[in-house]
């Protein structure tokens, strides 16, 4: 076992104007969803070929992640295994753009974020290891629902995309379905994240489109929502801050973010219109990584599923991403997490909506954000 090497988180940030950055992210994302973008020679590696190298001298494991507890998990994994581990922490959109830009020379071993759609698109391009399942824990019924048929990514928890967060001092009767947002009483009062930047937001957009009957119906809905004064922000924190300062009355964000804001602003409440989409947090492993790094990536996934890894996941971001519905048997959610059985949920098919992500994000950017 090599001596522990400190993990190196990448500082969040970007240069250049917001509009240039957004156009660049959306443009690069288009290559992720293009089915023919990569040759089949990059086909998925098997778990069995990687497992034979677990006893070799550790090589650096690079983790691309957009989870609030990712630093805590990476630090705990490195301490437990001695494997030198580097964390690159950014928004999901930025990481997907980075993965696409590096497609001929991947620099990552693990990708961990919310939303299975992007992983389904990567899998269709043979970019993910298939056939791997962690053995350190057993999936509960909820977890089994979101495992892909080819086992190309590993679920690590579930949240909701999106919930309606509102200030109970201002709003007494939040909407109970999405079309109510088009009513005059909500004119200029609704805010949401940009799906090209915020990982949890595209699954929300896709879920609304599926519920309304398809892409064109969804585009009509969001066009009407824009006409009713929709505000579009970059991330959960920005949208929820706009809610707190009174710029908007309703924030359409990931439920864990809304619950987390209640710790400092108890007047905020969370509503779940019919229907809200299940949002799995998932781990994917780079199929083009060296065998040793694939083996270490599998160890990382197993660590996350272990009792120690689950404890870190629950404690690493207690006012944010740790507020999830567990998918591993024996793990109990934090007390602030609602009973999932009481919520009007749906589970959009990521293999259907994943390949559409780039086009829908581009449409949203051109027609709703601008």
- 284 plus 142 within the same structural domain: yes
- Asked if residue 2 is part of any domain, the answer here is no
Residue 74 shares a structural domain with residue 166: no
- Cβ contacts of residue 367 below 8 Å, gap of 6+? 219, 222, 223, 226
Same-domain check for residues 231 and 167: yes
Q: What is the tally of structural domains in the chain? A: 2
Cα distance between residue 202 and residue 339, in whole Å: 24
Contact 258/270 with Cβ under 8 angstroms?
yes
Task: State mean pLDDT over 144-150.
Answer: 97
Identify whether residues 22 and 154 lie together within a single domain: yes
Averaged pLDDT for residues 319-341: 97
351 in a structural domain: no
Residue scoring higher pLDDT (38 or 207): 207
Which residue range forms the structural domain that includes residue 23?
Answer: 18-158+280-343
Compute the C-alpha angle 324/334/238, nearest 5°: 55
User: Domain for residue 354, yes or no?
Assistant: no
137 with 79, same domain: the answer is: yes
Cα–Cα nearest to 74, from 155, 2, 7: 7
174-188 burial, b if ≥16 CB within 10 A, otherwise e?
bbeebeebbeeebee
Residue 329 is assigned to a structural domain of this protein: yes
Same domain as 339, residue 200: no
Same domain, 131 and 111: yes
The pLDDT value recorded for residue 248 is: 98
Whether residues 265 and 329 share a domain: the answer is no
pLDDT at 14 over 70: no
Residues 168 and 243 in one domain: yes
d(CA 282, CA 83): 21
Residue 1 lies in a domain: no
211 and 227 housed in the same domain: yes
What is the residue whose two structure tokens read 């200029």?
A: 188
**Which residues neighbour 54 within 8 Å (Cβ) at sequence distance 6 or greater?**
295, 296, 298, 299
State the first-to-last Cα distance of the chain, in angstroms, to the nearest integer: 53
pLDDT value of position 307: 98
Together in a domain, 170 and 242: yes
Residue 343 has pLDDT above 90, yes or no: yes
User: In this structure, is residue 350 part of a structural domain?
Assistant: no
Do 133 and 154 sit in the same domain of this protein? yes
What's the average model confidence in pLDDT over 101-122? Answer: 96
Residue 55 is predicted with a pLDDT of 54
pLDDT at 15 over 50: no
CATH of the domain at 203: 3.40.190.10
Distance CA 57, CA 55 (A): 7
């Amino acid at each position: 076992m090599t001596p522990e090497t400190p993990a190196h988180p990448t500082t969040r940030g970007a240069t250049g104007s917001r509009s240039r950055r957004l156009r660049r992210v959306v443009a690069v994302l288009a290559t992720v969803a293009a089915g023919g973008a990569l040759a089949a020679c990059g086909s998925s590696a098997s778990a069995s070929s990687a497992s034979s190298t677990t006893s070799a001298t550790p090589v650096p494991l690079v983790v691309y992640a957009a989870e609030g507890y990712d630093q805590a998990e990476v630090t705990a994994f490195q301490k437990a295994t001695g494997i030198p581990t580097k964390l690159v922490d950014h928004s999901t959109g930025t990481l997907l753009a980075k993965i696409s830009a590096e497609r001929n020379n991947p620099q990552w071993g693990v990708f961990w974020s919310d939303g299975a759609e992007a992983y389904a698109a990567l899998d269709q391009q043979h970019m993910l290891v298939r056939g791997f399942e962690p053995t350190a824990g057993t999936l509960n019924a909820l977890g089994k629902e979101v495992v892909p048929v080819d086992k190309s990514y590993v679920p690590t928890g579930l949240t909701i995309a999106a919930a309606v967060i509102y200030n109970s001092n201002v709003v007494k009767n939040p909407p109970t379905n999405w079309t109510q947002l088009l009513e005059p009483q909500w004119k200029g009062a609704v805010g949401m994240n940009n799906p090209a930047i915020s990982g949890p937001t595209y699954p929300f957009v896709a879920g609304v489109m599926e519920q309304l009957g398809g892409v064109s119906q969804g585009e009509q809905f969001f066009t009407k929502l824009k006409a009713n004064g929709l505000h579009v922000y970059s991330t959960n924190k920005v949208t929820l801050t706009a809610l707190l300062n009174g710029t908007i009355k309703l924030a359409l964000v990931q439920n864990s973010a809304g619950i987390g804001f209640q710790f400092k602003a108890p007047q905020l409440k969370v509503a779940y219109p019919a229907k809200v989409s299940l949002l799995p947090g998932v781990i994917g492993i780079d199929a083009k990584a060296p065998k040793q790094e694939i083996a270490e990536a599998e160890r990382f996934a197993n660590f996350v599923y272990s009792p120690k890894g689950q404890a870190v996941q629950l404690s690493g971001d207690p006012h944010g991403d740790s507020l999830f519905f567990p998918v591993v048997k024996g793990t109990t959610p934090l007390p602030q997490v609602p009973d999932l059985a009481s919520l009007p949920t749906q589970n959009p098919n990521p293999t259907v909506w994943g390949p559409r992500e780039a086009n829908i994000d581009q449409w949203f950017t051109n027609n709703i954000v601008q």
